Amino acid sequence: MGWLKQIIFFYRDGFKQMRVGKQLWVIIAIKFFLFFVVLKLFFFPNILQTHFSNDTQRADFVLEHLMKH
């Protein structure tokens, strides 16, 4: 388990010593919240995943779309 501790301390010390990095991590956190929580959940559903329960239905829907033109 010594190596695991070493890795944890490596990251912990690295984060502690950051200067401009702290500001960057705040930006990354805000950005991830906006992307993965706000945008993904409220604005970007995966249409075929949410509207159909299996791949056969998805394939049929896309084929219908391709053929009805």
Q: Is 41 in the site for another protein (CB under 8 A)?
A: no
CA-CA-CA-CA torsion sign (50, 52, 58, 60): negative
Q: What minimum distance in Å lies between the beta carbon of 16 and another protein?
A: 10
CA 4 – CA 10 distance, rounded (Å): 10
Alpha helices in 17-54 (DSSP H): 20-32, 40-42, 47-51
Tell which one of 1, 2, 3, 35 touches another protein (CB under 8 A): 35
Binding site for another protein (CB under 8 A): 10-11, 13-15, 17, 20-21, 23-25, 27-28, 31-32, 34-35, 39-40, 43-49, 55, 58-60, 62-63, 65-67, 69
